[in-house]
């Protein structure tokens, strides 16, 4: 049972990390929204030497439309992260309540969380490419925006693989419960 305790601790740590990343994603999305509101308002203010804030920003960071494209990409990425981290946190909390990941319903839900992570990351990645490309084309400019959204894709793949191990553990638990009627079998997952 020492191994089960370690797994329970691992799921608890994963839940806490999800909560931390959830809060960070909210902060990131808020920052992007604030930038969308404030940047147009301050861009024409004088910054000294006869230049505006926009001219100073463009000298340091590139054209304003690229900056807006990066902010849009950041907002979409943070929005997806808010959803995915909360979705994962609820899953980990439910596994904590159950006490073991080695049940069919847990493995099935883990696969669902993995598939949702993959689908959302690919969808948001595609949406970001479309929006950023549209912004660049609308401004007849050249350039690229900096964004990445690969972590949640690989997180989804990891959960799909991990669910196979949980399924195997459920097989072993079912075989054990058939041998010993006092062992509790798989139940319903929330």
Q: Are 30 and 75 in contact (CB under 8 A)?
A: no
Q: With 90 as the cut, is the pLDDT of residue 79 above it?
A: yes
Which pLDDT belongs to residue 53? 82
Name the pLDDT band for 90 (thresholds 50, 70, 90): very high
Cα–Cα distance, 180 to 188 (Å, whole number): 21
pLDDT tens-place string over residues 110-154:
999 999 999 999 999 889 888 888 888 888 766 665 556 567 788
Cα–Cα distance, 79 to 130 (Å, whole number): 16
Which pLDDT belongs to residue 189? 55
Average pLDDT of span 26-40: 93
What sign does the dihedral 151-156-162-164 (CA atoms) show? negative
Q: Are 44 and 52 in contact (CB under 8 A)?
A: yes
Least confident of 9-18, 106-115, 155-164: 155-164
Least confident of 78-87, 96-105, 157-166, 179-188: 179-188
Cα–Cα distance, 188 to 96 (Å, whole number): 14
Cα–Cα distance, 146 to 151 (Å, whole number): 15
* Most confident stretch, 116-120, 129-133, 155-159, 169-173: 116-120
Helices and strands in the chain: count of H runs, count of E runs: 5, 2
* CB neighbour list of residue 72: distance below 8 Å, 6 or more residues apart: 32, 128, 131, 132, 135
């Amino acid at each position: 049972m020492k191994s089960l305790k370690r797994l329970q601790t691992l799921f608890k740590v994963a839940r806490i990390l999800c909560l931390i990343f959830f809060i960070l994603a909210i902060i990131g999305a808020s920052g992007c929204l604030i930038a969308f509101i404030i940047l147009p308002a301050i861009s024409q203010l004088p910054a000294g030497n006869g230049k505006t804030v926009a001219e100073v920003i463009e000298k340091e960071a590139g054209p304003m439309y690229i900056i807006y494209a990066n902010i849009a990409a950041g907002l979409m990425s943070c929005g997806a992260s808010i959803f995915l981290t909360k979705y994962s946190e609820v899953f980990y909390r439910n596994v904590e309540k159950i006490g073991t990941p080695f049940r069919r319903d847990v493995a099935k839900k883990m696969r669902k969380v993995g598939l949702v992570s993959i689908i959302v990351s690919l969808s948001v990645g595609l949406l970001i490419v479309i929006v950023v490309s549209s912004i660049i084309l609308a401004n007849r400019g050249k350039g690229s925006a900096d964004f990445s959204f690969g972590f949640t894709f690989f997180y989804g793949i990891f959960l799909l693989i991990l669910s196979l191990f949980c399924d195997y553990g459920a097989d072993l638990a079912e075989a054990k419960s058939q041998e010993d009627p006092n062992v509790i079998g798989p139940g319903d997952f929330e």
